[in-house]
C-alpha cells in the first residue's frame, strides 16, 4: 500500500468492498430489544445466594451499566419440587426486585438438568451409554431425548413457566434448555425411534440397503427389526468404529434431529402462550458437531453463543472470530453472546486468568463480528458444585474488583456506541461453506489422520483474518450470488444438486475454491464412482488420478513462482492433480510428482475455479494463496495490518464502522484514513493510529 498521505487508497478500497457486499440481502436486525438498547449483563443464579444479597448484586449491576440477566436454566427442581406442583415465589421475588433496578430478564427453560424425582420416578428418562450401562443421576445433560416421559415433563415445566411469566415484569426473552449437544443415548426407546426415523427417510428397506451399501460384508437387512444402533463411537476413543459408514452417517443426523425436535416442542409452547411478547434464542457452542445449528436455528428468533477463548497462553483468537462468523451465518442475522468470558475457566482445574484489558478486547471482537449484546458468565464465582473454578466477574468473596471494573468500562463504552451500532451488521464478499453433512461423514472416516472440517476451514479463514477481510460462514443452501469468492474446504459430501449450484456460481462469474477430499461421497455417504473431484472436475479443469496421506515423519516441498517466495512444506495429505486445461499455480519438488500440480486455477464460464491439493505447514502458503484469490475475485484489502491486529467492518444505511483490535501485548501502528472520528476516544485520526496492548479503536468511516 502507498503510504503517502494524499494517495492512501483506503476509501477507494472501502467503496469497492461495500459495492460488492451491498448486493446481499439485508439482514433483519432484531437482537436488540424493542427500545433499541443493547443487552449488556450477566448470568445470575439467585438460588446460589442468600436472598438479602440479591439487592446488593442488582445494585452493583445497575452501577456497572447492566440491563439484563439470564436466570433459571438449572433451577427445575426449585420451580417443580414434585411432579405437577410448581413454586415460582422465589423467582417472582427476584423479578420484582430486578424491575426496581430496570434489569430485564431472559428465562432459561431448565430441562438440561432433571430433578432427582424425575430419575427416581421415571428411571428410563436417564440416557444409556453405548456400553449398555445407564447413566447415573447427578450430572447434567443426562436425559434420553426419545423418552416419552421426559419429553412430557419437559413440556410441562416449559408450559408452566410460560403461563406464569408471560406478563411478568421485565421478562423479554427465553433461552431454550442449555447448550444442546446430546447426550447420545443407546436405549431401546432411541433404537425404536431411530427405526421410525429411517422408515420416514427411506420408505422401503430396498432404498435403505442401497443407500447404506449393505452388500458389503453381507450386511443386508430384511426387516426393520434387524436394524440396530451402529457401532460409530467408542466411549474413550480407544478403538475405531467398525459400523457401516452409511448407518453411522444417519445415526448422527438422527441424533441432531432428536435435539432439534426437543427444542421445537418448547418453542411451540412458548410461542402459543407468549405470542409476540418475548424473543426465543439458544446458547450454541461454536463448532460442537453433534447438532446441526442450521436446523436448530430455524425455530429461533436469533442465535446466541457461549464464547470462551481464554485457555492457554495469550494468542490470536482466530477460533472465536471464526465461530462468531458461523453464528451470524446460521440465520444470516446478528447474534447475542449469552455467556462471555469473565475470568479463569475450569471444573477440576482452572486455566489462566484474563489479563488486564483482555476481557474488554474479547468483547469488542464479538461486537465487530455482529454481536448486538453480551452477557458475562457468570456474575459471581459460585462456592459450591462442579463449577467452583469457573470464575465470574466477582470472585468467591463477592467483591467488585478488576474484572467487574473492566466489564463496567465495556458497558459504558457500549452505551456511547449504541447509536452508531444500531442498524449495522457485517457484510462480506467472501463466504466459506460450513457443512454438517461433511462433518458427520468425516467423523467416522477421516480419510487421513487428523482430518476435520473445522481445521480445514481455519487454514484459509486465518489468512483472511490476517488480511482484514470480512468472511461469512454459511450453509450449502445459502444464496451465493452476492459473494465474489466462495471456499468449500473438506466438502467430502457433494450431492449432484450442490455440484450444479457451485458450477452455476462459477459460470455466472464467481471465484470458487475447493481442496483435498472434495466430492468423494454422495448424499448417502457412499463413494462416488467418479474420478475426483467428481462433478466439479470441469469447473476445476483437473482430474485427480491418485492421492495419499503423508505420514508425520515425512513431507514434500511445494514450489511456486506466483503464490509465494521460496518453498513450502506439504504435510498430511497429497492429491496427484492432473491438469485438464487448468493453469498450474504450484507444484511439488519430488521426482515422482513432477508432472502433477499442488495448486491450480481454471477459467470456467465467466468465473474461475481454484483447487488446492495438499495441506501446507506454513501460514505464508495460505497468505499468498488468499491474496491471489482476492485479486482474482476483485476484492481489495482495506488496510495493511501488522501481525496480531484484527480489522472488521460493520455497515448499515447510516454508519460504516471500522473496528481495530490489537490482540497482542506489543504496541502496533496501523495506517488509517485521516480525519475520521475515532468513537471511543472521541478524537480525529491522523495518518497512523497506535494501538497499545489489547487496545481497541472504532473508526466511523
Same domain (yes/no): 413, 439: no
584: pLDDT strictly greater than 50: yes
Same domain (yes/no): 88, 153: yes
Which candidate, 472, 490, 475, places its Cα nearest to that of 431? 472
The C-alpha cell that represents 676 in the structure block = 475520521
What domain range includes position 299?
Answer: 39-185+254-421
Between 30 and 167, the more confident residue is 167
Mean pLDDT for the stretch of residues 401-420: 98
pLDDT band at residue 2 under the 50/70/90 scheme: very low
How far the first Cα of the chain sits from its last, in Å, is: 19
CB proximity list for 200: less than 8 A, separation 6 or greater: none
Same domain (yes/no): 587, 681: no
- End position of a domain, from candidates 588, 606, 633: 633
Grid look-up 447492566 returns 66
6: pLDDT strictly greater than 50: no
Same domain (yes/no): 333, 391: yes
- End position of a domain, from candidates 583, 606, 633: 633
> If you ran DSSP here, which 8-state letter would residue 297 be given?
H
Q: Give the distance, in angstroms, between the CA of residue 431 and the centroid of all CA atoms in the same chain.
A: 14
Grid look-up 521426482 returns 591
Grid look-up 460409530 returns 232
The C-alpha cell that represents 585 in the structure block = 499455480
- End position of a domain, from candidates 421, 443, 476: 421
In a domain, 398, yes or no: yes
Same domain (yes/no): 71, 100: yes
Per the structure, how many domains does the chain have?
A: 3
Q: What share of the chain is helix, strand, coil (3-state, %, to 5)?
A: 35, 20, 45
CB proximity list for 571: less than 8 A, separation 6 or greater: 550, 555, 614, 615, 616, 617
In a domain, 293, yes or no: yes
In a domain, 214, yes or no: no
Q: 437-470 burial, b if ≥16 CB within 10 A, otherwise e?
A: bbbbbbbbbebbeebbbbebbbbbbbbbbbbbbb
Per-residue model confidence (pLDDT) at position 444:
83
179 annotated active-site: yes
Pairwise CA distance, residues 459 & 140, whole Å: 34
Instruction: Show the DSSP H helices in 170-280 as ranges.
Output: 188-202, 205-212, 245-273
Per-residue model confidence (pLDDT) at position 684:
97
pLDDT band at residue 1 under the 50/70/90 scheme: very low
Per-residue model confidence (pLDDT) at position 576:
97
pLDDT band at residue 15 under the 50/70/90 scheme: very low
Same domain (yes/no): 659, 591: no
Task: Give tens-digit pLDDT for 350-380.
Answer: 989 999 999 999 999 999 999 999 999 999 9
Strand ranges (E), 94-245:
104-108, 171-175
Beta bridge pairs of residue 166: none
Same domain (yes/no): 466, 413: no
Which pairing describes strands 39-43 and 371-377: parallel, antiparallel, or unpaired?
A: parallel
DSSP secondary structure letters along 664-688: SSS-EEEE--TTPEETTTTEE--SE
236: pLDDT strictly greater than 70: no
Per-residue model confidence (pLDDT) at position 240:
57
In a domain, 48, yes or no: yes
Pairwise CA distance, residues 268 & 274, whole Å: 10
Which residue of the set 73, 80, 290, 339 is catalytic?
339
Per-residue model confidence (pLDDT) at position 312:
80
Pairwise CA distance, residues 523 & 498, whole Å: 10
414: pLDDT strictly greater than 90: yes
Same domain (yes/no): 132, 270: yes
In a domain, 216, yes or no: no
Contact 555, 617 (CB under 8 A): yes
Task: Give tens-digit pLDDT for 531-552.
Answer: 999 999 999 999 998 999 999 9
Per-residue model confidence (pLDDT) at position 314:
85
Task: Give tens-digit pLDDT for 152-165.
Answer: 999 999 999 999 99
Pairwise CA distance, residues 410 & 669, whole Å: 23
Same domain (yes/no): 258, 404: yes
Task: Give tens-digit pLDDT for 68-117.
Answer: 999 999 999 999 999 999 999 999 999 999 999 999 999 999 999 999 99
Mean pLDDT for the stretch of residues 227-244: 72
Contact 410, 64 (CB under 8 A): no
The C-alpha cell that represents 59 in the structure block = 445494585
For residue 358, the domain's CATH number is: 3.20.20.80
Same domain (yes/no): 279, 397: yes
Number of Cβ within a 10 Å radius of residue 207: 13
> If you ran DSSP here, which 8-state letter would residue 46 be given?
G
Contact 614, 555 (CB under 8 A): no
Contact 637, 469 (CB under 8 A): yes
* E strand or H helix at 622: helix 619-633
Torsion of CA 693, 694, 700, 701, to 10 degrees: 70
Which residue of the set 80, 179, 406, 646 is catalytic?
179
Pairwise CA distance, residues 262 & 256, whole Å: 10
Same domain (yes/no): 673, 628: no
In a domain, 23, yes or no: no
Coil/strand/helix, residue 161 = helix
The C-alpha cell that represents 104 in the structure block = 430485564
Same domain (yes/no): 628, 663: no
What is the greatest pairwise CA distance in the chain?
78
For residue 562, the domain's CATH number is: 3.40.50.880
Pairwise CA distance, residues 337 & 381, whole Å: 19
Backbone angles phi, psi at 380, to 5 degrees: -135, 140
Which pairing describes strands 335-341 and 371-377: parallel, antiparallel, or unpaired?
A: parallel
Number of Cβ within a 10 Å radius of residue 432: 26
Task: Give tens-digit pLDDT for 106-147.
Answer: 999 999 999 999 999 999 999 999 999 999 999 999 999 999
Contact 645, 661 (CB under 8 A): yes
CA distances to 139, 234, 240, 241, 444 from 237, rounded to whole Å, are 21, 5, 7, 9, 12
Grid look-up 494517495 returns 7
Task: Give tens-digit pLDDT for 588-646.
Answer: 999 999 999 999 999 999 999 999 999 999 999 999 999 999 999 999 998 999 999 99
In a domain, 26, yes or no: no
Per-residue model confidence (pLDDT) at position 29:
37
CA atoms in the 13 A half-sphere facing the CB of 435: 23
In a domain, 88, yes or no: yes
Pairwise CA distance, residues 369 & 254, whole Å: 32
pTM for the predicted model, two decimal places: 0.94
Coil/strand/helix, residue 326 = helix
Grid look-up 459430501 returns 493
Number of Cβ within a 10 Å radius of residue 355: 13
Per-residue model confidence (pLDDT) at position 617:
97
For residue 649, the domain's CATH number is: 2.60.40.1180
16: pLDDT strictly greater than 90: no
Beta bridge pairs of residue 683: 678
Average pLDDT over the chain, rounded to whole? 93
Pairwise CA distance, residues 265 & 277, whole Å: 18
Task: Give tens-digit pLDDT for 278-326.
Answer: 999 999 999 999 999 999 999 999 999 999 999 888 899 999 999 999 9
Give burial (CB, 10 Å; 0-12/13-18/19+) of 101: middle
Which candidate, 302, 309, 285, places its Cα nearest to that of 661? 309
CA distances to 280, 456, 479, 485 from 439, rounded to whole Å, are 27, 11, 21, 22
Amino acid at each position: 500500500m502507498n503510504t503517502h498521505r494524499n494517495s492512501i487508497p483506503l476509501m477507494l478500497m472501502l467503496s469497492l468492498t461495500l459495492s460488492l457486499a451491498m448486493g446481499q440481502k439485508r439482514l433483519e436486525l432484531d437482537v436488540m430489544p424493542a427500545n433499541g438498547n443493547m443487552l449488556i449483563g450477566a448470568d445470575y443464579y439467585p438460588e446460589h445466594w442468600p436472598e438479602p444479597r440479591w439487592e446488593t448484586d442488582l445494585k452493583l449491576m445497575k452501577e456497572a451499566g447492566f440491563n439484563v440477566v439470564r436466570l433459571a436454566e438449572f433451577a427445575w427442581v426449585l420451580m417443580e419440587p414434585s411432579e405437577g406442583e410448581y413454586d415460582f415465589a422465589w423467582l417472582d421475588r427476584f423479578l420484582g426486585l430486578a424491575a426496581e433496578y430496570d434489569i430485564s430478564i431472559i428465562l432459561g427453560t431448565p430441562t438440561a438438568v432433571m430433578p432427582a424425582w424425575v430419575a427416581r420416578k421415571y428411571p428410563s428418562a436417564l440416557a444409556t451409554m453405548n456400553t449398555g450401562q445407564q447413566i447415573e443421576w447427578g450430572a447434567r445433560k443426562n436425559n434420553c431425548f426419545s423418552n416419552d416421559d421426559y419429553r412430557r415433563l419437559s413440556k410441562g415445566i416449559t408450559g408452566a413457566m410460560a403461563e406464569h411469566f408471560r406478563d411478568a415484569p421485565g421478562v423479554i426473552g427465553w433461552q431454550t434448555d442449555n447448550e444442546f449437544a446430546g447426550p447420545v443415548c443407546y436405549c431401546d426407546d432411541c433404537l425404536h425411534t431411530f427405526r421410525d426415523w429411517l422408515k420416514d427417510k427411506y420408505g422401503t428397506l430396498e432404498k435403505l440397503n442401497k443407500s447404506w451399501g449393505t452388500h458389503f460384508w453381507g450386511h443386508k437387512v430384511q426387516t426393520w427389526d434387524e436394524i440396530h444402533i451402529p457401532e460409530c463411537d467408542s466411549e474413550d476413543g480407544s478403538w475405531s468404529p467398525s459400523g457401516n459408514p452409511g448407518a453411522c452417517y444417519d445415526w448422527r443426523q438422527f441424533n441432531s434431529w432428536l435435539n432439534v425436535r426437543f427444542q421445537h416442542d418448547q418453542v411451540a409452547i412458548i410461542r402459543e402462550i407468549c405470542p409476540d411478547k418475548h424473543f426465543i434464542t439458544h446458547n450454541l457452542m461454536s463448532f460442537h458437531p453433534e447438532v446441526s445449528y442450521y436446523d436448530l436455528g430455524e425455530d429461533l428468533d436469533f442465535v446466541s453463543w457461549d464464547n470462551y477463548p481464554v485457555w492457554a497462553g495469550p494468542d490470536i483468537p482466530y477460533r472465536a472470530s471464526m465461530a462468531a462468523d458461523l453464528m451470524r451465518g446460521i440465520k444470516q442475522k446478528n447474534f447475542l453472546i449469552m455467556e462471555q468470558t469473565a475470568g479463569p475457566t475450569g471444573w477440576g482445574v482452572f486455566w489462566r486468568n484474563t489479563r488486564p484489558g483482555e476481557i474488554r478486547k474479547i468483547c469488542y471482537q464479538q461486537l465487530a463480528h455482529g454481536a448486538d449484546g453480551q452477557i458475562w458468565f457468570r456474575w459471581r464465582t459460585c462456592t459450591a458444585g462442579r463449577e467452583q473454578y469457573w470464575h465470574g466477574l466477582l470472585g468467591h468473596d463477592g467483591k467488585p474488583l478488576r474484572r467487574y471494573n473492566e466489564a463496567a468500562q465495556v458497558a459504558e463504552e457500549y452505551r456511547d456506541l449504541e447509536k452508531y451500532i444500531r442498524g449495522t451488521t457485517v457484510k462480506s464478499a467472501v463466504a466459506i461453506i460450513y457443512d454438517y453433512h461433511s462433518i458427520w461423514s468425516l467423523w467416522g472416516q477421516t480419510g487421513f489422520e487428523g482430518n476435520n472440517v473445522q481445521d480445514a476451514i481455519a487454514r484459509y479463514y486465518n489468512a483472511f483474518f490476517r488480511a482484514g477481510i470480512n468472511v461469512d460462514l454459511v450453509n450449502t443452501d445459502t444464496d451465493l450470488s452476492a459473494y465474489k469468492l466462495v471456499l468449500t474446504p473438506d466438502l467430502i459430501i457433494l450431492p449432484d444438486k450442490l455440484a450444479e449450484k457451485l458450477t452455476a456460481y462459477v459460470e455466472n462469474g464467481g471465484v470458487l475454491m475447493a481442496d483435498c477430499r472434495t466430492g468423494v461421497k454422495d448424499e448417502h455417504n457412499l463413494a462416488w464412482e467418479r474420478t475426483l473431484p467428481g462433478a466439479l472436475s470441469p469447473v476445476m479443469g483437473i482430474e485427480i488420478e491418485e492421492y495419499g496421506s503423508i505420514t508425520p515423519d515425512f513431507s514434500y516441498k511445494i514450489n511456486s513462482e506466483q503464490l509465494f517466495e521460496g518453498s513450502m512444506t506439504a504435510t498430511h495429505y497429497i492429491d496427484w492433480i492432473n491438469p485438464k486445461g487448468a493453469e498450474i499455480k504450484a507444484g511439488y519438488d519430488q521426482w515422482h510428482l513432477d508432472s502433477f500440480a499442488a495448486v491450480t486455477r481454471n477459467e470456467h464460464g465467466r468465473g474461475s475455479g481454484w483447487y488446492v491439493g495438499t495441506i501446507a505447514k506454513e501460514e505464508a502458503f495460505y497468505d499468498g494463496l488468499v491474496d491471489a484469490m482476492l485479486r482474482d475475485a476483485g476484492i481489495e484489502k482495506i488496510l495493511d495490518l501488522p501481525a496480531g491486529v484484527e480489522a472488521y467492518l460493520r455497515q448499515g444505511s447510516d454508519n460504516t464502522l471500522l473496528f481495530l483490535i490489537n490482540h497482542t501485548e506489543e504496541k502496533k501502528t496501523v495506517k488509517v484514513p485521516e480525519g475520521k472520528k475515532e468513537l471511543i476516544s472521541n478524537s480525529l485520526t491522523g495518518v497512523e493510529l497506535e494501538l497499545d496492548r489489547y487496545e481497541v479503536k472504532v473508526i466511523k468511516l
